[in-house]
Chain A
Amino acid sequence: MLKITNLEKTFNAGTINAKTALCGLNLELKDGDFVTVIGGNGAGKSTLLNAIAGVWKPDYGTIEIDGVDVTAMPEHKRAKFLGRVFQDPMKGTAPDMEIDENLSIAARRGTKRKLLWGIRKGERERYAALLKDLDLGLETRLSTKVGLLSGGQRQAVTLLMATLNRPKLLLLDEHTAALDPKTAEKVLQITDKIVTENKLTTLMITHNMRDAIEHGNRLIMMHEGNVIIDVEGEEKKKLTVEDLLALFTKASGKEFANDRAILS
């Protein structure tokens, strides 16, 4: 489904602020994989997701989605393969537009937009049914401007938007990090539900080791721009936070330096 080969990216190359964010990363995802990504600050997690999404071009290496080489494809064209949810709840929705308008734009991801009605017959009903499944009471508020919703509600709507038009790959960039613990839990539940129901291939960054262990069928840990730990299946199910920390020390030769990830 996803095949990344020798991916390299250095920010501010040639200056004293040069920062190698990805160095020769290789990663392959099978159809239906739900992979959680964990790692310290600056490990390259978000850089990896942004590279896949096409926010900028990598210095070296290739990215293939479902057999198509997308390395040189601009962000908006790649969007037809991808569903994305950002860390910042403000980033995934248009605040001044209504919930149904946001959803209708998302429903047409990957299609050529025409001078036809932006929201057609039956669409509102479909959206209302999907929103009802989220159980946030949004199904009766289709004409509400998204800017009036809470952060958690906006993330849930963004999640729905990302998956409305089934993506080949779902990219979740710490999408619960900015939410309070209770809301984060709820959004994670919704995530699990949507991913399993639609059998989506998913790459989910999280700062929470326990979440990384509990969700998905495969876990990778990144360090200094590369994948240093990659466990899946039964082995992953048995994993504990302590195991993970020990694995990290063994693989990197360092102590894991991110209190946030350990304590939460």
Chain B
Amino acid sequence: MYFFNALPGAVAEGLIWGLMAIGVYISYKILDIADLTVDGSICTGACVCAVLISNGVPVWLSMIIAFLAGALAGIVSGVFNTAFGIPSILAGILTQLILYSVNLAILGGKSLISLVGGQHKLLLSMSNNPMAIVSAGLLIAATIICLWLFFYTEVGLTLKSTGDNADMSRAQGVNVKFNKVLGLAIANGIVALAGSLLAQYKGSANINDGRGAIVIALAAIFIGLSVSLKIKPNFVVSLIGVVGGGIVYYIIYNFVVLLGLKTDYLKMLSAIIVVVFLAVPYIKGEYFKKQKSVVRASAANNAGGGENA
């Protein structure tokens, strides 16, 4: 019973993380960069949005500015990587560290800004979960449509090819470095937008928001793609799958909490989910490939024998 009471909240929070996972999908799956900037930029989105709203800026404008702040973080990380030659993982970690200080500055030196109790109009809040689900759902739908259109434009196609084959892209006159920066800007912009939703939903922005966010996003991506790639391997279905993965993740999360797992262990749980999803296909390919081909060969022999008989 408790579980079903918690379900709307799990879906709402899952949607917000699903949006964040869409951002990570762009860097991790399309650009083929494990971008750790997101742990910082989700918090930046939350902080920027919370501070602006508490100062009376309209919600929609606060969210746009949060998106831009995230995009800027992505640009910084991208420039570290492409112009300064810093490996992408390290570039992400460095930007993340920079963002910690930046986020503290945004919060005015405090570690938390609360939106609760004020007369602020918010897009969504945990006090009204059905409304939150509708708002977040619409925003995600709009994001998916924009990305779907974008990735079929001339620029969008070269962004895909940059992650798919950088040599080919350069040979076809694509500015690979620029595209990486652009892709990271879009990815982190979306992540910060998710952060702005998170701050509104929880009614606060905390300097520790987003720690380990990339792991949650990756878990959502792997859970989602394990289903959506079987249905239809195309871009829109993948993105919807990723959002679905976020929801499933939060339902599992709530379920595990209800089973009595201490919340201290939840980060470990998310990491284990990611490890399992990365390890299983690898182990399958590494240790079970031979057996499979033996089975196929004997099956073929049997089939041949049947024909002869």
Contact = CB atoms under 8 A, between A and B. Distances in A.
A16 interface: no
B150, B152, B154, B176: which has the most chain A beta carbons within 10 Å? B154
A109 B172 contact: yes
A118 B156 CA distance: 8
B155 A115 contact: yes
B270 interface: no
Contacts, number: 88
B153 A115 contact: yes
B118 interface: no
Interface string A81-96: 0101010001111111
B157 A105 contact: yes
B172 A161 contact: yes
A79 interface: yes
Nearest to A91: B167
Interface string B240-265: 00000000000000000000000000
Interface residues of A, number: 35
A114 B160 CA distance: 15
B168 A93 contact: yes
A91 B164 CA distance: 10
B82 to A, nearest CB: 12
A76 interface: yes
B169 A94 contact: yes
A102 B169 CA distance: 10
B169 A117 contact: no
B158 A113 contact: yes
A79 B171 contact: yes
B160, B173, B176: which has the most chain A beta carbons within 10 Å? B173
Nearest to A78: B173
A113 B155 contact: yes
Interface residues of B, number: 22
Nearest to B175: A76
A111 B155 CA distance: 11
Nearest to B154: A113
Contacts of B175: 76
A97 interface: yes
Interface in A49-65: 53
B161 interface: yes
A101 interface: yes
Given A76-B176, A105-B158, A118 B171 contact: no
Contact of B172 (A77, A96, A105, A119): A105
Contacts of A76: 169-170, 173-176
A246 to B, nearest CB: 37
Contacts of B161: 94, 97, 101-102, 105
Contacts of A82: 171
A104 B164 contact: no
A116 interface: yes
Top 9 closest pairs, chain A to chain B, by CB = A79-B173, A94-B164, A113-B154, A118-B157, A94-B161, A94-B165, A109-B173, A84-B171, A96-B164
Interface of A: 53, 75-77, 79-80, 82, 84, 86, 90-97, 101-102, 104-106, 108-111, 113-119, 161-162
Given A79-B171, A96-B164, 8 more contacts: A76-B173, A79-B170, A80-B173, A91-B165, A92-B167, A97-B161, A116-B154, A118-B153
